Every structure is written in C-alpha cells, then in structure tokens.
Structure 1
Amino acid sequence: MPTTSNQRIERSRRAILDALNQSFPATRQELSRRTGLAPSTVAGIVRDLLANEMVQEHEAADHAGRGRPSSRLSPRRLPGYLVGIDFGHRHVSVALASTAQEIVAEGRVTLDVDASASNALDRAAVLVIDLLDRARVPAGSVRRTVAGIPGPINQATGKIQSATILAGWAGIRPRQELVARLGGEVVIANDAELAALAEHTHGAGRNVSDLVYVKASHGIGAGLILAGRRYAGAYGASGEIGHTLVQEGGTQCRCGQRGCLESVVSIAEVWRQLIAAGLPPSERPDDLFLDALVHNPVVARIVTDAGRQLGRVLSDLCNALDPAMIIIGGELATAGEPLLEGVRESLRRFAQPAISDRVQIRSSTLGPRAALIGALTLAATTAEAAPAR
C-alpha cells in the first residue's frame, strides 16, 4: 500500500520529536541534519508543534557570528515529577526531579546489590519515599520512574537474563517489583545504556550520533548509541563486554568463566594491584577516586595497563561498529589521562587505522551520576503522554 501524505507528515513529526527528546535544545538546522528532513519540512512541522504547545522556543544565547542567531527548541514538559534509580553493584542511588529534569533531591546508600534483589528493591523504595516526603511531593505527582540495573534485561519477559552476572536477581522482574512497592509507571533499563543516553544528551557525547559508553567500575559494561538512538540489542543483552575472554585460564569471574575482562579490569582488581604494589590506601574500593593517586608513577603504570586491557576489547568493538567516540565512565575513569592513554595505545595497535585515527576517547563529564541522570532523561522522554498518577 503506498504511503499517504498524512502518513509521511506523521512519520516526519515523530522523527523530529524523537530527535528533540534524544538531545535538546536544538535549532531547526540541527533537527534537519539529525533527521535528514528538508529544512522546509522541519520548519512547517515545528510551526505546527509550537501551535499545539508540544515544543517550546528559547531565545538564542549570545552570538558571536554573523547574521541572526538561531533560536532553540525543546520539548514542552507536562507538570509533575520524575524518579530515577541507579542500582550499581555496590550502591543504590535515587533522584527526584521535575519533568524539566531539574533535580529536587537525591539519596544514596552503599549496599551489596548483587546479593539480594528483594533487599536492594526495598532499600530503593524507602529512599524514594523518603525523598518524596522531604520534598513534600505527593506520590501521585510522579509521572514516571526509571531504574537502571547492572545486568542484561530480557525485553520480552522483563526478567533479569543472567543468573551469573546478578546472582541474587535470577528470575526477578524488577519492573513489577518496583510497581508493587511504588505504584505508577516504571521503566527498567541497563545502567550503562542509561549512562550512554545521559552523555549523549547532556555530556561528553552531546550531538554525537554513534558512541560507546563504557562503565568501568565493580563491573565492566557498555552502552551503545547508534544512529542517534539507544541500542539494547535483539534481546536486551548488548554491551556485556565485561565477560569477554582476555586471559585464557585466568582469574575466576563471577559469571563462572575464567579470564574475563571484568576479572582483570575492575575497580576491585586495580585496588588489589595497588595494595600488592605496597600502596595501602585507607579507603575501601567503594570510596576510591584515583585522580588523587595517579601522580604516583606506580599507580599510573597500573592504571595505564588496565586501560590497555580495556582498549584491546574496545578495539574489536570499534572494528565492528565504527563509533565516533568512546566515553569512559565509572570509578576507574576518575584516573583520567593514564587510563585513556592505555585505551588509545591498544586502539592504535589493534583497531583498523581508519578507525583508530578518528575515534575520540573521552572521560565521562557526568561522572558517577551518569546512569542516574540517564534514568531521569529516559523518564522525561517516555512520560510525555503518561497520565499523572
């Protein structure tokens, strides 16, 4: 059946709204470039969206170039609040924000999330309820809750897919569990995937259409933005690079295999190597910020080697996906340049020259809060049509 004019207009309208939701504010010219639509088509659809109060227009900031500066557009958010939850392997963080993603309150607790899903979900619910009470926000004003989980989620069943990566979560449906505790609309996503969305929308990868975000913490995972969109894979298990074999017969990994990337490059393993090298820091790994230590040449050497190991796996990923940027986040990324240089060394050696010469290697600009900010970003973009509860 041939496509009608109305169908083409609706498809173009949806493309523009999706582009705005992925990265805003944006000019009409930027929307044309992102969507591939003609400037005249974008202009006409934007006029309609403004008339129907679905987007809002902002005055241009100070402009140093020639000609009249372009105004910028962003989605118009309905009143209400959003909740973001980040389940790390060793912590639970929550944030309450307006639908414009202005954070009202945050909370965090250190916890062995892997050990017990029930305990982690209970603690998250208590944190959320406490934030609502402190901010005097009625639960019925929350339009959407998004939670990031450090493991693969089956998109069809909503269950945690791997009993080895998150042992205490096997068979759990976290969305239903959170709905039972908090009520309302809940969305579940992988934490690295949410961090990638945050960096793409607000951080180092802003307006970069193809990027890989790597969360290097107690676990190692990747979030993908391909052609400007989050990519979770056919079954929600993309980005599990932490369980790539890098050392045959190496250290036992929590997934059951030996020599996984995660078993040789994680914040806990780097911490173990620091202690073995005679550097006995007083903090636990949960509190480790390597930027205060990398001036020590021994620390820098250990961190750079970790970067080389990580870069070896990322080289294969780059050869397959050809991203424009790799963003390194998580606690290990606080080491900064020594880690990035190790990654670059491996890319120069193992990635195709046409790729390694172009791909940018950057540290996360959102730091440990990237997944939490990504949860709020996804909550904002998926709450457009959701009724307040």
Structure 2
Amino acid sequence: MFDDDASLPPGTHPSASPGSQSALRQRNQLRLTEQLLRGGPATQAELARLTGLSTATVSNIVKSMQQAGLVTLTTTTSSGRRAHSVSYTGDTSLAVGIDFGRSHVRVVLANRSYKVITERQIPLPVGHDATAGIFAAAQLLEELITEEGIDRSTLVGAGAGIPGPIDKRTGKVIQGAILPEWVGINLHERLQKALQLPVFIENDANLGALAQITWGPFTEVPNLAFVKIGTGIGAGLIINGSLYSGSLGVTGEIGHVTIDESGLICRCGNRGCLETIASTATMINLLSRDRPDAVTTEDIVSRAKAGDATTLRVLEDAGTAVGRALANISNIMSPDVIVIGGPLATLGEILLGPIRRGLLRHAVPVVGENTTLATSSLTSRSEALGAVSLVFQDLPHVKVPKPLPSRCVKGLTPMPQPS
C-alpha cells in the first residue's frame, strides 16, 4: 500500500530518490487518478477504501488536484450523510460508446469526467447485417465529431455492445445473438478497421451492468445484476465491484434458462427458455393476436399504465418467470441489487411487482428478502454509456491528447442525474 502518511527513513531528503515523500505522493496521486478513470466519480471515503490510502492522504491529494483543476467536487449523499463526490476532469480525451440493437444504433461521445458531449440514435432495418450496422455507426460517428468540431485525435477508443454473446477468445459473435446475421463475424476486427480506433467489445447486458456502477446511482454497490428485458433477455453481473465475464466471455445468459420443459422451442435450440415466455417479442405476439395491427413495445407500456387487463396479465406472467430465473442468480451470487433495464423499465412497479413475487417465491428466503429490485434510471442509454466506461476502464494509461478547441469545450453537457 502506498501512503504518504508513512514515515520516511531517517536522513532521507524529501526529493532525494524514487522512494522520497515527493515520489510517494506522485504515486499516490496516480493511484487515485487511475481509480477515478476506471470507476468514475466517487466520494473521498470510497476512494480511500478502493485505493487503500488513508482518508487523510486522499483528502490532501484531492485538495491539491482540485487546486490544479484536475478534479471537481459536487455535493452528494453517501450512507445518509453529506459528502463530496470527486470527478476527474484532468484532460479532454473522449471515448466513443456504441450500442448496436436489433433495429437501431446509438453513438455517444463522453469525456473522462463522465459528461456526455454529444449523442444520437438512428433506426436500422430489422435483420440488418454487420456490414450495414458497422457502416452506419462509423458514418454517425463522423457526423457527430464534424458537427461538434471535435478533433479526431482526442478520441482514445470505442466501446461497443451487441445483444448477444461474444467469444472473448476470438472476438467473434456466436450463436444465440438477437442479430443472427452477425454470427461468425469478428466484430472487434471489423469495427476497429472501420473506426480506426482501439475497440473494446462486450455483450450489451454486460455494458448495462457497467453503466449502473459508473453512470448510475449504484457506484457503491459491490455485487449487482443488470437484467435487460427486450427481444432477448440477458444479464450482466458485477461481482466484488468488477464485471464478471467468465472464461469465454459468455455469462448471464438467463434468457436461456429453462422455465418450462414442455414449452416452445427457443432460437437457441432448447425448449421452454425464459425468452420464449418473457421477452418483449413474446409479449407482442400474445397481445397482437386478433388485432389488425401488431402491438409495439410502446403500446405495451402505454396500455399497462392505462390499466389494460390483458396487458397486465401478460406482464404478470412474464415478470413472475423473470423473477424465477433471477432467483437462481440470487441463490448463487446473492447480489445487493438487481436492476431491470430495457424498453419496459419505465413501467416501474408495474413490472417490478411480478418480478419480485417470482424472486421471493423461488429464492432462498434470506437472499430474496435482502435483494433490492430497481429499474434503470439510464433508460435506453445504458448500453452506450457502459461502452464509454469500458473504454476508460480498459484504457487507463492513454496519452493525454491536445486540448479541444475552446468552442468544443464550451459544448460539454452534464449527464442528467437519476431521479
């Protein structure tokens, strides 16, 4: 543990050697800086715990960094007490976050202090292939940096996610993705070539989980599961403060947990998977029967909020099934919080109620009763924001580029705080 509160050997001059107090203070500042870059804003108490430095050392370093314009402090509440959240603002390097969906692509640009510079989402045709999706993302990125007058040299990397598993050994999209046209491609190589940037790839649910502990209200939560309910269903797992990827990178595939052994055949080849019961695609099929026009996800949300009995029944069945699958995760990892994301998250308790009932029914009682359920406050931005976090987490030692022109710095927009 580095700590400049430690005593120096007798006769050692403060600046005499790499082991001097000055050098030690620099290493401590680097340690704290890397934590802020990797984990995002945090209180001084959290920084002391995460870095192993004493609270006095952290306080002194933060004070000197604030005076140098390297960090900013904002008032927040931690464990019921008033505290200051520390955000790193020491350079103007930007990361790109890309979320490839079944029918959209979203691109976000943000800086190291977790402020969004610009973002946009555009529609893509259902069934689009990788070439079309990657081209659209690259073109959208160029449009955004041109509109904002951003120097491309300030871009340090791009994170990207797709709704499906990626084999970390090869960088290839594997069977089970919501985008079957992408299966077999090396997304890492293709995207890096198109963007001419270092690229980091993850499953979209994993990025959603990462966003919750960097952009969301759960920065202090060590064990968290993020569950995205959409056309597919996947989970991202945070264990002891870090994203868990397993040996292959294929984790959290709760959409393919068997719920009904005599149920429908799933696209993965198994029978009765959670996705065949609780995905938005299944809900749309059920609610579109005997209707001239297909129901949309937006219709499900609006009708549920209006109290439509049929919609609420479909959500009850789907939510209970999701809760049952989450009970298996809870019994194994005992998360502090389970966050529900995806297009139905705005339903709040209408969706959480049946999920909670399923969880409590099937989890070990003490686990179920002590697991907090919440909906994501980051809405449809979760995955793209998580992709930004992935860049800064995996690329903490990037050389600081030249500052942005003042006209661009002026355009920084803070990320809205979750309500």
TM-score normalised by the chain length of structure 1: 0.85
1:252 is aligned to 265
2:13 is aligned to none
> What are the residue-to-residue correspondences of 1:180-329 with 2, within 5 Å?
180-276=193-289, 284-285=296-297, 287-288=298-299, 290-294=301-305, 295-329=307-341
Listed one character per residue, the Cα deviations across residues 213-262 of structure 1 (whole Å, up to 9, x for unaligned) are 00000110101111111111121111111111112132222222221111
Which structure 2 residue ranges, 5 or more long, are not aligned? 7-18, 403-419
1:39 is aligned to 55
Compared CA separation, residues 317 and 10, structure 1 to 2 (3 A): farther
> What are the residue-to-residue correspondences of 1:108-187 with 2, within 5 Å?
108-112=121-125, 115-162=128-175, 166-187=179-200
Residue identity in the other structure for 1:82: A
Secondary structure at the counterpart of residue 243 of structure 2: strand
Compared CA separation, residues 55 and 224, structure 1 to 2 (3 A): farther
State whether structure 2 residue 73 is matched by structure 1 residue 58: yes
State whether structure 2 residue 44 is matched by structure 1 residue 28: yes
Compared CA separation, residues 48 and 336, structure 1 to 2 (3 A): closer
Q: Distance in 2 between matches of 1:112 and 1:52?
A: 50
Larger radius of gyration: 2
RMSD: 3.5
Alpha-carbon shift at residue 165 of structure 1 (Å): 5.4
Compared CA separation, residues 135 and 253, structure 1 to 2 (3 A): same
Listed one character per residue, the Cα deviations across residues 241-290 of structure 1 (whole Å, up to 9, x for unaligned) are 111111213222222222111121111111112223x67776644x5561
Secondary structure at the counterpart of residue 344 of structure 2: helix
Compared CA separation, residues 250 and 174, structure 1 to 2 (3 A): same
Q: Distance in 2 between matches of 1:226 and 1:42?
A: 25
Compared CA separation, residues 52 and 255, structure 1 to 2 (3 A): farther
Compared CA separation, residues 367 and 51, structure 1 to 2 (3 A): closer
Secondary structure at the counterpart of residue 166 of structure 2: coil
Q: Distance in 2 between matches of 1:207 and 1:103?
A: 22
Residue identity in the other structure for 1:356: G
| Aligned partner of 1:90 among 103, 108, 133 | 103
| Aligned partner of 2:355 among 318, 343, 351 | 343
Alpha-carbon shift at residue 303 of structure 1 (Å): 0.5
Residue identity in the other structure for 2:207: L
Q: Which runs of 4+ in 1 moved over 6 A?
A: 8-15, 51-54, 279-282
Alpha-carbon shift at residue 377 of structure 1 (Å): 2.5
Compared CA separation, residues 10 and 245, structure 1 to 2 (3 A): farther
Q: How many residues are treated as equivalent by the alignment? A: 382
8 Å Cα contact 2:40/2:113 also seen in 1: no
Residue identity in the other structure for 1:342: P
8 Å Cα contact 2:226/2:340 also seen in 1: yes
Secondary structure at the counterpart of residue 122 of structure 1: helix
Identity of aligned residues (%): 34
TM-score normalised by the chain length of structure 2: 0.80
Secondary structure at the counterpart of residue 247 of structure 2: coil
Compared CA separation, residues 350 and 331, structure 1 to 2 (3 A): same
Listed one character per residue, the Cα deviations across residues 93-119 of structure 1 (whole Å, up to 9, x for unaligned) are 112334433323322233356652222
Secondary structure at the counterpart of residue 268 of structure 2: coil
Q: Distance in 1 between matches of 2:240 and 2:282?
A: 34
